[in-house]
């Protein structure tokens, strides 16, 4: 089975440019999560979706960040305009959430390493 | 905000030794999970322990949970160079509509041969 697929794996861009990161979750999973990892702040939850609906976006740092999940097999995280402090590794993860309040095992993609110059 | 905090931040041992990592958390939980991350890769789930369990084993891994102290530990026995990685604990944060995992900053384990 294919795991969570993220693209691009690496992106280098100039400050002010738009960045779009993509994620394909594991088929059958109903929850999708976007995390950001930096040395300083560790792994931060940005936003997550249940059944394609955004549930909690309180971790999205600013209005420059937006995420969508138009269907069960695709999600995007967009940064517009990008800034150097957005440089990080962005991870997408998916899971099957059954019982309410129960966090299932997360399956992570390999991440998208973003460098904003 | 982070829920779990791992201790120590870094750990260096020799092959064959045991490695113990600790995690403390702040609020009540119904389960706690441990993940591993190899350099440059995504996180991989290791083990889940429920709040009504005190200890769980998986191969060379042993996880304990003390809900009264709000703490967990991960023990890797007979460590190997291939165990070199970062290890994270994760706890659920729930609201009315869903549950997400919040991760600590991790323990970086280095096993030398």
| A34 close to A44: Cβ distance less than 8 angstroms | no
Judge: A45–B88 Cβ closer than 8 Å, yes or no: no
Does residue A103 register a pLDDT over 80?
Answer: no
| B90 close to B102: Cβ distance less than 8 angstroms | yes
Determine contact: A31 vs chain B, CB below 8 A.
yes
Neighbours of A86 (CB within 10 A): 21
User: Which residues, at least 6 apart from A44, have a Cβ–Cβ distance to it below 8 Å?
Assistant: A35, A36, A37, A38, A59
User: Which tens digits make up the pLDDT trace of B30-60?
Assistant: 899 999 999 999 999 999 999 999 999 999 9
How far apart are alpha carbons B39 and B77 in whole angstroms? 21
User: Which tens digits make up the pLDDT trace of B95-109?
Assistant: 767 789 999 999 999
Contacts of B92 in chain A (CB under 8 A): 101-103
Determine contact: A97 vs chain B, CB below 8 A.
yes
């Amino acid at each position: 089975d294919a795991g969570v697929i993220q693209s691009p794996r690496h992106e280098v861009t100039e400050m002010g440019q738009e960045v779009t990161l993509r994620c394909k979750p594991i088929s059958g999973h109903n929850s999708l999560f976007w995390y950001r990892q930096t040395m300083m702040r560790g792994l931060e939850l940005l936003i997550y979706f249940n059944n394609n609906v955004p549930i909690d976006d309180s971790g999205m740092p600013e209005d420059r960040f937006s995420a969508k999940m138009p269907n069960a097999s695709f999600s995007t995280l967009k940064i517009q305009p990008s800034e150097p402090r957005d440089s990080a590794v962005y991870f997408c993860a998916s899971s099957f959430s059954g019982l309410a309040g129960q966090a299932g095992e997360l399956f992570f993609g390999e991440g998208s390493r973003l460098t904003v110059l | 905000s982070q829920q779990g905090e791992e201790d120590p931040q870094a750990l260096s041992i020799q092959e064959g030794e045991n490695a113990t990592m600790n995690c403390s958390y702040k609020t009540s939980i119904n389960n706690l999970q441990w993940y591993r991350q190899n350099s440059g890769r995504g996180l991989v789930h290791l083990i889940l322990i429920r709040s009504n369990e005190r200890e769980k084993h998986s191969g060379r891994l042993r996880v304990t949970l003390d809900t009264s102290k709000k703490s967990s530990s991960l023990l890797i026995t007979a460590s190997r160079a291939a165990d070199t990685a970062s290890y994270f604990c994760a706890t659920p944060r729930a609201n009315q509509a869903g549950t997400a995992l919040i991760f600590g900053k991790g323990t970086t384990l280095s096993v030398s041969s």
